[in-house]
Amino acid sequence: MKLPRRNFLHLAAGAAALPAVSHIACAQSYPSRPITIVVPFPAGGPTDALARILAERMRGPLGRRGRVAPSAPAASRVRRLMATW
């Protein structure tokens, strides 16, 4: 297999840069921020109660606080858009 000079130089540059990049990139602990559970129903309903129970149960294994953000049905689209950010 004949390897053109340009492809060889691309491979060589990538191989040379690999050790430097591996020291720069390091994983953060998951999750690094509190987890927000968006409930598209008003507070006090069964869905809100279930989300709050789930947030408390997540605290143990993940070691982070879970936050519940209930919203009125009219604001559910805004909350869904907020969750995608």
- Does any domain span residue 57? yes
Residue 1 belongs to some domain of the structure: no
Q: Cβ-count burial of 51 within 10 angstroms (0-12 exposed, 13-18 middle, 19+ buried)?
A: buried
Split at pLDDT 50, 70, 90, the class of 74 is low
Residue 3 lies in a domain: no
* Total of domains in the chain: 1
Query: What would the mean pLDDT of 12-18 be, rounded to a whole number?
Result: 82
Range of the domain at 46: 35-83
Looking at residue 7, its pLDDT comes to 86
pLDDT tens-digit map of 21-69 = 655 656 666 667 778 888 877 788 888 888 889 888 888 887 777 888 7
The reported pTM is 0.52
Q: Tokens 């605290």 — which residue? A: 59
Helix (H, G, I), strand (E, B) or coil at 25: coil
- Asked whether residue 29 is domain-assigned, the answer is no
10 domain residue, yes or no: no
- Is 76 inside any structural domain? yes
69 lies in some domain: yes
Q: Grade residue 16 by pLDDT with cuts at 50, 70 and 90.
A: confident
Q: What share of the chain is helix, strand, coil (3-state, %, to 5)?
A: 55, 10, 30
